C-alpha cells in the first residue's frame, strides 16, 4: 500500500503537487534563497541551463528571466509536478523553459550540452547523490557550473554534533525512506569534489526564526518530525539540538518555533 505521506507519493499526486506549489509560492525564505542561487549561477544570458528536480518550475522562472536567448530545461521524474509546471506555464509563460521527464541518476541528455546546472531543495531526496553529481558533470561543458541549494544540519563542532546528525538522519530515513538524507555544508562540498568538480563557492545561510507553525520554512515539516521524536532521546542530545537548531512549544494544535534553520549553497565548476 502506498504511503500518501511519503515524499515520492506526494510528488506523484496532482493535488499534492498543486499544494506544494502553492506553499512554495508563499515562502519568503525560499524567495531569498533563490535570489542567492540566481546570483551564484553567474548568468550572462545565452546559457543553456538544467534545472534538476525542477518540480513545478518555481525556481526555473526567476532563472529564465535572466536568460536572453538562452534556455532552461526542467528535469523531474514526478509527472504530477511537471503537469503543474505546464499548467503554470499556460497561465504565465516562462520564456525558454522546457519541462522534461527523467531520473536524477540518469539524465536523458548528451554529454557537454549545458552551461549551467542546479538543484534546489532536492539533494536530500536523491537515492545516489554522487551519481547525480557525476551526471551533472557529464552534461556540462568545460567551465560549466553545478549549483546545489539544500537544507542542511548545523556545522559539527564536536562528537555530540556528529551524534545529532546521525540521529536526525535516522529519524528522517525511518519516516521518508532509507535514502532520505540531510547533508552539512562540509559534506556537500565533499560530494561535489568527489564527483570531480572544483569548488568555487560554498556559503551557509542561516535564518533565525520565531514564529507560529512551520509555514514558509523549506522542509519545515520534516524538521518538526525530528524535533518531536528527539523529545524522548537523552537530555544532552535534545539540549544540543535545541541550541544548534530550534525548540518548539505546542499549545493544542498550535506550534511555536524558535531557533535556526540552515541552508547550504555550493557551486562547483567542471574543469
For residue 172, give Cα distances in angstroms to 100, 175, 218: 29, 5, 15
Looking at residue 15, its pLDDT comes to 63
Tell which residue, 68, 28, 71, 24, has the closest CA to residue 51. Answer: 71
Alpha-carbon distance of 150 to 261, in angstroms, equals 11
Tell which residue, 128, 3, 110, 122, has the closest CA to residue 56. Answer: 122
Query: Are 144 and 269 contacting, i.e. CB atoms less than 8 angstroms apart?
Result: yes
Query: Are 113 and 139 contacting, i.e. CB atoms less than 8 angstroms apart?
Result: yes
Q: How confident is the model at residue 215 (pLDDT cuts 50, 70, 90)?
A: confident
Architecture of domain 7-154+180-208+260-270: 3-Layer(aba) Sandwich (3.40)
pLDDT at 241 over 90: yes
Question: Average pLDDT in the 56-63 region?
Answer: 90
Q: Which DSSP state fits 214?
A: S
Specify the residue for cell string 559539527: 156
For residue 267, give Cα distances in angstroms to 37, 92, 190, 225: 9, 30, 12, 30
DSSP 100-154: EE-BTTB-SS-TT-EEEEEEES-GGG-TTHHHHHHHHHHHEEEEEEEEEEEEEPP
Looking at residue 170, its pLDDT comes to 96
Looking at residue 87, its pLDDT comes to 76
- Predicted TM-score (pTM) of the model is 0.89
Looking at residue 23, its pLDDT comes to 61
Q: How confident is the model at residue 236 (pLDDT cuts 50, 70, 90)?
A: very high
pLDDT at 187 over 60: yes
Amino acid at each position: 500500500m502506498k504511503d500518501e505521506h511519503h515524499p515520492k507519493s506526494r510528488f506523484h499526486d496532482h493535488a499534492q503537487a498543486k499544494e506544494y506549489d502553492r506553499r512554495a509560492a508563499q515562502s519568503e525564505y525560499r524567495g531569498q534563497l533563490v535570489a542567492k542561487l540566481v546570483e551564484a549561477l553567474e548568468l550572462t544570458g545565452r546559457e543553456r541551463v538544467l534545472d534538476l528536480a525542477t518540480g513545478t518550475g518555481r525556481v526555473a522562472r526567476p532563472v529564465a528571466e535572466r536568460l536572453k536567448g538562452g534556455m532552461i530545461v526542467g528535469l523531474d521524474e514526478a509527472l504530477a509536478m511537471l503537469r503543474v509546471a505546464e499548467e503554470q506555464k499556460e497561465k504565465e509563460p516562462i520564456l525558454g523553459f522546457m519541462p522534461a521527464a527523467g531520473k536524477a541518476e540518469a539524465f536523458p541528455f548528451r554529454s557537454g550540452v549545458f552551461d549551467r546546472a542546479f538543484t534546489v531543495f532536492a539533494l536530500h531526496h536523491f537515492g545516489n547523490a554522487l551519481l547525480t553529481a557525476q551526471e551533472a558533470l557529464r552534461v556540462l561543458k568545460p567551465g560549466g557550473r553545478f549549483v546545489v541549494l539544500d537544507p542542511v544540519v548545523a556545522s559539527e563542532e564536536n562528537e555530540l554534533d556528529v551524534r545529532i546528525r546521525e540521529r536526525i538522519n535516522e529519524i528522517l530515513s525511518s519516516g521518508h525512506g532509507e535514502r532520505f538524507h540531510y547533508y552539512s555544508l562540509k559534506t556537500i562540498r565533499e560530494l561535489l569534489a568527489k564527483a570531480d568538480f572544483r569548488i568555487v563557492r560554498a556559503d551557509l545561510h542561516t535564518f533565525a526564526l520565531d514564529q507560529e507553525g512551520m509555514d514558509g520554512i523549506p522542509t519545515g515539516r520534516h524538521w518538526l518530525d525530528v524535533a518531536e521524536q528527539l523529545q524522548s532521546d537523552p537530555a544532552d542530545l535534545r539540549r544540543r539540538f535545541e541550541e544548534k537548531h530550534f525548540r518548539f512549544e505546542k499549545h493544542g494544535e498550535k506550534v511555536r518555533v524558535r531557533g535556526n534553520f540552515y541552508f547550504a549553497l555550493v557551486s562547483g565548476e567542471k574543469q
